[in-house]
Amino acid sequence: MLKVEVAMAWWAWALVSAGSAALVSILAKVGMEKIPSDLATAIRTIVILLFAWALVFLRGEAAHLGQISRRGLLFLVLSGLGTGVSWLAYFRALQLGPASRVAPIDKLSLVFTAVLAVALLGESWSARYALGLALVMAGVLLTTFA
C-alpha cells in the first residue's frame, strides 16, 4: 500500500489552512450564485468526504479505525456536528453578505477557541496573548463596519 506523508511544521499546515480557507470564501461565493446555500454546503461536503477518505487510504490510516475509543468517537461526532453548523452558517452568511465582511467575522473563531481552550482544556495564556486576541477583535470590528 502506498503511504503518502508530507512533513511540515504545525505552523506551515496552519498557513495552508488559512490560504485554503481564503479560497473557500471566494470560490463558494461565486459557486453558489444561483443555488441555495444549504445545497452548496452539501455538494462541498461530498467533495470533502471523498477527499478525506482518499487521504486516509493513501496514508495507510484506515488500519487505525479499530483504535478509536468510544469517548474519542463521541467527541469526533460532536466536532463533526459543530463543523456542519459552522459550514451551513458560513455559506448562508456568504450568500447574504460580502465575503470581505463575512470572513473577518468568521475569524472570531480564533478568539472563541482561545477562550474555550483556557476554560475547558486548561491551556494558559499571557497578557501579551490576550492583547493579541483583543487586536484580532478590533480588526474584525474595523473590517466589518468600515
What is the structure's pLDDT at 145? Answer: 86
The CA distances from residue 77 to 47, 73, 119, 144, in Å, are 19, 6, 21, 32
Q: Check: pTM over 0.85? Answer yes or no.
A: no
Instruction: Render pLDDT for 73-115 as a digit per residue (tens, 0 to 9).
Output: 999 999 999 999 999 999 999 999 999 999 999 999 999 999 9
Instruction: Render pLDDT for 131-145 as a digit per residue (tens, 0 to 9).
Output: 999 999 999 999 998
Domain ranges of the chain: 1-97, 107-146
Reported confidence tier of residue 52, pLDDT bands at 50, 70, 90: very high
How far is the C-alpha of 34 from the C-alpha of 92, rounded, in Å? 13
The CA distances from residue 10 to 17, 99, 116, in Å, are 10, 27, 20
